[in-house]
Chain A
Amino acid sequence: MPRTPPPRSFSRRRTGLSDETFDTLVFDWDGTVVPDRLADAKEARDRIEKLSDAGVHIFIVSGTHVENVDGQLRARPRCRGHLFVCCNRGSEVFRVTGDGTQLLDRRTASVDEDRALDLAAARTVEHLRERGLEARVVANRLNRRKIDIIAVPEWADPKKAEIGRLLNAVMARLAAVDMADLSEVIDVAAGAAHAAGLADPRITSDVKHVEIGLTDKSDSARWAAGWLVQRGITGELILVGGDEFGPIGGATGSDSFMMVDALSRAPVVSVGVEPSGVPEGVVQLGGGPDPFRQAPRCAAHSSS
């Protein structure tokens, strides 16, 4: 029998994703499901619990820690479909049940790795200062160090919706010291990380910060793919969602790290503004709140 790729036209068309039923949803949290970390997540909670009841597995992938996501979502599914929070930027996986959260997996840094992260962060700040850019290490998170490159009161705690203005402010700050964009800052951090002895540093940026770490969202996506393949759930049965797949200010979009080889056939959808466009294969739905009033309850809600 010939082993040719099956026809892409088989029973479905990849246009709006509305004609496909997925076994599993893998998606970013902040900016995708909720506009920011202070928003009321009740609507998301209702939907996620109902999807779990319907047997859909859900992986929430986030850079923050589990208390932030679970404290906002507060979903307690009955677990026909499993709910996972893959957090701390790829370093931890929690399962969420009716009883709360349960740690399933954690990447633990060795003493040498922690020391190397500290050293890499300090050297990055030092090198940036030599270039004229004031930056400072603001957080010592699990398996990563966070460096603030716009540590000014006006941008002390920018909301996700302010990303455009924040980007302009950061780009102006970089231009003032003859740095083209965030990619130069990332290069500085990567060089410092390698010099500090980190073999595989993961450098990311949310525009305000540059982070040096041992893991990133690709580790979350690979963990999810590994759990799913054991249950026969692969590729096109999985929907990946986020709001930052395209590059921003010269930095790789944080959600693009979820596009790992193990999920290469999974449809990917962006609900972000994506000022520089999205990588090939990503369906861009556009960002911002939807401009219509929600019906009292959707059809699925009223029937369940």
Chain B
Amino acid sequence: MVVRTRFAKLLDVQLTRRAEHRVPQIDRDPGWVLPLPPRIDQVRVAESFGWLGNGWAGTRGSLEEDGPDSTPLFPVSGVYDDGGKILPGPVWTGLDQPLGSRGRTGHHRLLDLRTGTLARGSPTGSDLRSMRFVSAASPQPWD
């Protein structure tokens, strides 16, 4: 018989979560974390505040479920269309499936200025959770 200590159980929980690709969230440090406005009429403001970029590529802070008030954008420095305007890249933050009634309402979005991470959750923790960042360590992943 092997006796497992209570602390070993905690370590096992962490191992299991890592194996399930459950990543750490953000540290809600009031000095560094900015709550984005959740109201529908402030969507554009929230998108601008939630912009993440690394000097080469950037992603506008649009909600994953998109919608008529939303203007997602993924531009890359130096990439333009034939008319000389910035060419929007594929919207990698969008969802293939609509969220229905679970979308938009009741969510919190927090911008962690220390780590450059935009995290989304809900009071119950049961709805859509997301985290997004643009890598500063590997700004051009294929280099």
Q: Which residue of B lies closest to A5 (CB)?
A: B30
B10–A11 CB distance below 8 A: no
CB distance from A81 to the nearest CB of B (A): 10
**Which of A7, A32, A235, A294 sits near B2, CB closer than 8 Å?**
A294
A20 to B25, CA, bound (A): 8
Q: Does A254 contact B (CB under 8 A)?
A: no
A1-59 interface with B by 8 A CB criterion: 1-13, 17-23, 25, 27, 32-33, 35, 43-44, 47-48, 50-51, 54-56
A286–B6 CB distance below 8 A: yes
Most chain B CB neighbours (cut-off 10 Å) among A21, A32, A44, A54: A21
A286 to B10, CA, bound (A): 13
B89-143 interface with A by 8 A CB criterion: 108, 110, 114-115, 119, 121-125, 129
A6–B28 CB distance below 8 A: yes
A21–B34 CB distance below 8 A: no
A165 to B16, CA, bound (A): 37
Q: Which residue of B lies closest to A304 (CB)?
A: B19
Instruction: Encode contact with B along A262-304: 1 for CB under 8 Å, 0 otherwise.
Output: 0001000101000000000000011111101110001111011
Number of interface residues of A (CB under 8 A): 60
A300–B2 CB distance below 8 A: no
CB distance from B45 to the nearest CB of A (A): 9
Q: Which residue of B lies closest to A17 (CB)?
A: B10
**Which of B16, B25, B29 sits near A298, CB closer than 8 Å?**
B16
B18–A11 CB distance below 8 A: no
A300–B15 CB distance below 8 A: yes
A285–B6 CB distance below 8 A: yes
Q: Which residue of B lies closest to A33 (CB)?
A: B7
Q: Does A167 contact B (CB under 8 A)?
A: no
**Which of A3, A265, A271 sits near B6, CB closer than 8 Å?**
A271
19 contacts between A and B (CB under 8 A): A1-B37, A6-B108, A9-B125, A10-B28, A17-B13, A22-B24, A33-B7, A43-B8, A234-B27, A265-B28, A265-B29, A292-B4, A293-B1, A294-B4, A298-B16, A299-B16, A300-B16, A301-B15, A304-B15
> B residues touching A (Cβ–Cβ < 8 Å)?
1-19, 22-30, 33-35, 37, 49, 108, 110, 114-115, 119, 121-125, 129
